[in-house]
């Protein structure tokens, strides 16, 4: 176990600088672009949209930049959790060959944004509890008058809470790698805009029955000035539902002291509900087609050098992959012929690999099947990994020789079972 952990750490640690460069670079580009465009280049044109009269100074920005660097270092550590999840078969990040389809791509991305909004609201409220605020959230609220650089200005515990969201979400849904990139891009841009100090959204949005559910810049700016209201990230519905929306939000967002929402009509309510149900249905019902399954199908020689396994779809209608023993060479008289060694694997491309996951691997000698994954290597071998209780073991299967394949074919043709 210790040797496996040491080997894993030796493989993963060199990747951490790259993860940090990506996370901190995303912050620099996202927050920096918003700051340059909104707070510098367009500052004069947007002067009537400026929420506060005062402009934060360099000392505040320097502090925000420093704490954001530590936060990015914490975010980057989530790469270790994701790698462990992928290796153990409980997380899936797929690519173009994943076969999940466009509807799933869009639905899973939108659902990830909705889920993060809920996760943020409730963890945000927890961080405002007196016993958690000082060590968990005080750094962010030092910026009473925020800037785009405030976006990642967190205490380390808060950064860890935010970093945990993506690994937690991946436990429930496979995600396309580019969908995760879009999610992270949306997150930093919305975050930077929300801290810009300028109301960039049309004021009438606040009263719109649909668009009014989107948090405007004023919404989060009030949170920084008042502290115990407006906890939402992207949407206002949790604050509305839980009674934590600031009573002056609408008047400040619209510039109208008498501003008030109209109740949402029955048709609009029904349409919103139908859209939400449709989104969830598209995400969970979408049926992945499998990742390059033809590449793995056919005969494989197990690592004992004597057992030939035929890999194919589990049934005519199934898109899952199974592997059954069809021939054994040697003195065991084919005792395992007909035994299913690979059960119900689903295709997914992860980190450039041709990979099949969420299945089980049985042993020739019997015993309980273990969760595992299959990876088709560049050399054309099949890497079979099984994991249980934190311990993983690997087998390497290869294509059988022509002579062995002929024997297996003769066995299959002769009906040997």
Torsion of CA 184, 80, 135, 246, to 10 degrees: 20
The distance between the two most distant Cα atoms of the chain, rounded to a whole number of Å, is 90
CA distances from 125 to 68, 133, 215 (A): 21, 10, 17
CA torsion 186-190-192-193 (nearest 10°) is 140
Partnered with residue 383 across adjacent β-strands are 375, 396
Sketch out the chain's domains with CATH numbers: 19-284 (no CATH), 293-413 (2.40.128.520)
10-residue mean pLDDT profile of the chain (417 residues): values are 70 87 95 96 95 94 96 94 84 71 86 94 96 94 96 96 96 92 97 96 92 94 93 93 92 86 55 59 50 81 90 87 89 75 79 75 84 86 82 88 86 60
Residues 301-313: b if buried by 16+ CB within 10 A, e if exposed? bbeeebbbbbbee
Res 413: pLDDT: 67
Judged by DSSP in three states, 289 sits in: coil
Q: Cα(108)–Cα(201) distance, rounded to whole angstroms?
A: 26
- B/e letters for 6-36, b = 16+ CB within 10 Å, e = fewer, are eeeeeeeeeeeeebbebbbebbbebbeebbe
Nearest alpha-carbon partner for 75 in 162, 181, 190, 197: 162
Per-residue pLDDT at 415 = 55
Distance separating alpha carbons of residues 72 and 208, to the nearest angstrom: 36
Q: Identify the pLDDT of residue 288.
A: 46
- The first and second tokens of residue 376, run together, are 């088709």
- Give residue 319's Cα distance to chain centre: 24
Q: What is the pLDDT of residue 227?
A: 84
pLDDT value of residue 318: 82
pLDDT of residue 99: 56
Q: How far apart are CA 71 and CA 79, in angstroms?
A: 14
């Amino acid at each position: 176990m210790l040797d496996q952990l040491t080997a894993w750490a030796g493989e993963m640690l060199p990747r951490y600088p790259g993860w940090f460069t990506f996370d901190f670079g995303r912050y620099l580009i996202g927050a920096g672009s918003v700051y340059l465009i909104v707070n510098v280049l367009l500052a004069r044109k947007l002067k009537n949209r400026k929420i506060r009269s005062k402009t934060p100074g360099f000392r505040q920005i320097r502090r925000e930049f420093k704490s954001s660097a530590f936060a990015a270092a914490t975010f980057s550590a989530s790469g270790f959790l994701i790698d462990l999840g992928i290796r153990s078969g409980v997380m899936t990040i797929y690519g173009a060959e994943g076969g999940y389809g466009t509807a799933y791509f869009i639905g899973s991305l939108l659902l990830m944004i909705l889920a993060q909004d809920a996760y943020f609201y409730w963890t945000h409220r927890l961080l405002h509890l007196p016993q958690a605020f000082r060590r968990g959230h005080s750094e962010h609220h030092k910026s009473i008058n925020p800037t785009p650089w405030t976006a990642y200005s967190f205490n380390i515990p808060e950064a860890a809470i935010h970093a945990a969201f993506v690994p937690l979400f991946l436990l429930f849904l496979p995600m396309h790698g580019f969908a995760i990139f879009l999610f992270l891009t949306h997150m930093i841009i919305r975050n930077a805009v929300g801290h810009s100090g300028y109301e960039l959204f049309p004021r009438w949005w606040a009263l719109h029955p649909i668009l009014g559910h989107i948090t405007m810049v004023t919404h989060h700016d009030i949170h920084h000035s008042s502290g115990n209201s407006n906890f939402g990230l992207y949407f206002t519905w949790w604050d509305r539902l839980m009674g934590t929306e600031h009573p002056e939000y609408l008047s400040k967002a619209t510039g109208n002291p008498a501003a008030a929402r109209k109740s949402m009509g029955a048709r609009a309510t029904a349409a919103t509900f139908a859209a939400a149900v449709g989104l969830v249905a598209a995400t969970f019902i979408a049926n992945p087609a499998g990742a390059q399954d033809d590449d793995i199908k056919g005969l494989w020689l197990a690592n004992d050098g004597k057992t030939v396994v035929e890999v194919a779809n589990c049934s005519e209608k199934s898109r899952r992959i199974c592997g059954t023993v069809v021939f054994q060479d040697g003195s065991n008289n084919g005792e395992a012929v007909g035994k299913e060694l690979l059960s119900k694997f689903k295709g997914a491309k992860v980190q450039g690999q041709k990979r099949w996951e969420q299945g089980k691997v049985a042993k020739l000698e019997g015993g309980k099947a273990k969760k595992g994954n299959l990876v088709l290597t560049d050399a054309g071998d099949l890497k079979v990994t099984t994991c249980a209780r934190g311990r993983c073991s690997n087998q390497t299967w290869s294509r059988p020789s022509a002579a062995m394949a002929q024997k297996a074919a003769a066995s299959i043709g002769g009906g040997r079972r």
